[in-house]
């Protein structure tokens, strides 16, 4: 047995098998100083700083260009071409029907899609720890910790989601490791400190059942070296990595997120909803600022109302937990065409949506299954 007895703590002195959770026990956290004031100041909750007062007056927008805007009309020719190229891109669709079909009706509509994106930052703090390796400790003796929102951090490019963690200055404290109680090791739970376990081959009987020969796996000893601790009887504490002490500190967690509000104007054509979210549109209006104003006088009233609703929803849902850094609202035109056609005496339907003429097929007369996933 190659048990290493040079360890300062012999296995016998490790009276427990620490299998406690990685987080410090609550009693310990209670003994750590309260950093409540980082979040609250002078009785008044200052979870995040008030955003600068908006002084930008709503800009009068001329919508005359909207009325002049034309999205190219989908003709019969275009409708057939779009279906043909869709069919050719799928292994399960034959192209004969697309070639021979008779288009009976094209129902066209141009929809308006309103989108509001809000890029926000939220901050929380949490206690964390790492093994203490005798490096200098930035504790309260070096000064008062800044408040969460006073800590300067590098903001990622706008609308790029990210999460970053920072150590709060002057918040570090060194404590004995709570998992090994400062010993750096703890008793192995696999062998309860003995370094050996019962031989599984002979079940400790020293020879195999109905065989007089000694068990070859344990050489007749009935016990084998514990594989969990390699026969040492103890294990290096995983929490402090054997360092015996931990440095606890506050960690600032900053999260940048995008929130999306989307609205598509009322449609006369009954088409699957999912097409409209991903359809490529023609940009009509784009407004980006640290905060945007609701659109008030768009010719389609439901778009103006959606803008007001979206901005109100985002500020209500983010107000108590984040700071809005940037907002972007857009209005796009989405062309949608419902194509009714005849093929071999039956009627079928497909849709062409977006400025890039994407096709959505409800049913198609010439479809074979080759085992692929039908989209």
**Could you tell me how many residues of this chain bind Zn ion (CB under 5 A)?**
18
- With respect to Zn ion, which residue has the nearer C-beta, 38 or 240? 240
Q: Does 202 help bind Zn ion (rule: CB under 5 A)?
A: yes
Q: Does 177 help bind Zn ion (rule: CB under 5 A)?
A: yes
- With respect to Zn ion, which residue has the nearer C-beta, 22 or 53? 22
- With respect to Zn ion, which residue has the nearer C-beta, 11 or 279? 11
Q: Which one of the spans 29-37, 184-192, 278-286, 347-355 is the region binding Zn ion (CB under 5 A)? A: 184-192
**32, 31, 9, 33: which is closest to 180 by C-alpha?**
9
CB neighbours of residue 259 within 10 Å: 17
> What residues contact 348, with CB distance under 8 A and at least 6 apart?
101, 340, 341, 342, 362, 363, 364, 365
Q: Which one of the spans 8-16, 20-28, 59-67, 215-223 is the region binding Zn ion (CB under 5 A)? A: 215-223
Pick the binder of Zn ion from 98, 116, 240, 318 (CB under 5 A): 240
Q: Does 218 help bind Zn ion (rule: CB under 5 A)?
A: yes
- With respect to Zn ion, which residue has the nearer C-beta, 205 or 325? 205
Q: Does 190 help bind Zn ion (rule: CB under 5 A)?
A: yes
Question: Contact 89/82 with Cβ under 8 angstroms?
Answer: no
C-alpha 97/C-alpha 342 separation (Å) is 9
β-pairing, 323-343 vs 346-353, is antiparallel
Q: Does 292 help bind Zn ion (rule: CB under 5 A)?
A: no
Q: Does 248 help bind Zn ion (rule: CB under 5 A)?
A: no
Cβ of residue 199: shortest distance to Zn ion, in angstroms? 3
β-pairing, 223-225 vs 234-236, is unpaired
- With respect to Zn ion, which residue has the nearer C-beta, 215 or 352? 215
Q: Does 336 help bind Zn ion (rule: CB under 5 A)?
A: no
> What residues contact 296, with CB distance under 8 A and at least 6 apart?
58, 304, 308
Cβ of residue 176: shortest distance to Zn ion, in angstroms? 8
Partners of 264 in the beta sheet? 113
Pick the binder of Zn ion from 51, 133, 144, 201 (CB under 5 A): 201
β-pairing, 196-198 vs 223-225, is antiparallel
Q: Does 238 help bind Zn ion (rule: CB under 5 A)?
A: no
Q: Does 199 help bind Zn ion (rule: CB under 5 A)?
A: yes
CB neighbours of residue 73 within 10 Å: 11
Q: Does 130 help bind Zn ion (rule: CB under 5 A)?
A: no
Q: Does 191 help bind Zn ion (rule: CB under 5 A)?
A: yes
- The 3-state DSSP composition of the chain as helix, strand, coil percent (nearest 5) reads 20, 30, 50
Q: Which one of the spans 103-111, 156-164, 177-185, 304-312 is the region binding Zn ion (CB under 5 A)? A: 177-185
C-alpha 239/C-alpha 248 separation (Å) is 12
- Chain contacts with Zn ion (rule: CB under 5 A): 177, 179-180, 188, 190-191, 199, 201-202, 215, 217-218, 226, 228-229, 237, 239-240
């Amino acid at each position: 047995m190659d048990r290493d007895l040079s360890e300062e703590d012999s296995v016998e002195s490790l009276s427990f098998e620490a299998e406690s959770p990685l987080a410090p026990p609550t009693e310990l956290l209670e003994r750590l100083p309260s950093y409540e004031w980082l979040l609250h100041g002078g009785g008044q909750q200052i979870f995040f700083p008030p955003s600068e007062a908006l002084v930008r007056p709503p800009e009068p927008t001329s919508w005359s260009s909207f009325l002049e805007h034309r999205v190219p009309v989908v003709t019969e020719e275009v409708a057939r071409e779009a279906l043909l190229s869709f069919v050719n891109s799928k292994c399960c669709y034959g192209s004969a029907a697309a070639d021979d079909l008779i288009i009976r009706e094209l129902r066209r509509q141009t929809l308006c899609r309103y989108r509001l994106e809000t890029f926000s930052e939220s901050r929380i703090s949490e206690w964390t720890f790492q093994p203490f390796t005798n490096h200098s400790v930035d504790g309260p003796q070096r000064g008062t910790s800044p408040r969460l929102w006073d800590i300067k951090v590098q903001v990622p490019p706008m609308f790029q989601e990210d999460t970053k963690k920072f150590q709060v200055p002057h918040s570090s404290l060194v404590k004995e490791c709570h998992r090994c109680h400062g010993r750096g090791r703890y008793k192995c739970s696999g062998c309860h400190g003995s370094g050996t376990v019962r031989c599984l081959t002979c079940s400790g009987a020293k020879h195999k059942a109905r065989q007089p020969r000694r068990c070859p796996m344990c050489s007749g000893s009935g016990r084998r070296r514990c594989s969990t601790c390699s026969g040492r009887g103890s294990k290096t504490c995983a929490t402090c990595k054997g360092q015996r002490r931990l440095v606890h500190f506050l960690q600032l967690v900053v999260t940048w997120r995008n929130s999306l509000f989307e609205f598509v104007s009322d449609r006369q054509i009954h088409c699957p909803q999912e097409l409209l979210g991903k359809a490529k549109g023609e940009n009509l209006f784009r407004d980006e600022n640290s905060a945007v104003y609701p659109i008030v006088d768009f010719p389609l009233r439901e778009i103006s109302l959606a803008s007001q609703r979206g901005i109100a929803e985002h500020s209500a849902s983010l107000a108590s937990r984040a700071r809005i850094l940037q907002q972007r609202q857009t209005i796009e035109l989405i062309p949608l065409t419902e194509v009714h056609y005849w093929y071999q005496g039956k009627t079928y339907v497909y849709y062409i949506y977006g400025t890039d003429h994407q096709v959505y097929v409800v049913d198609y007369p010439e479809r074979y299954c080759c085992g692929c996933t039908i989209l």
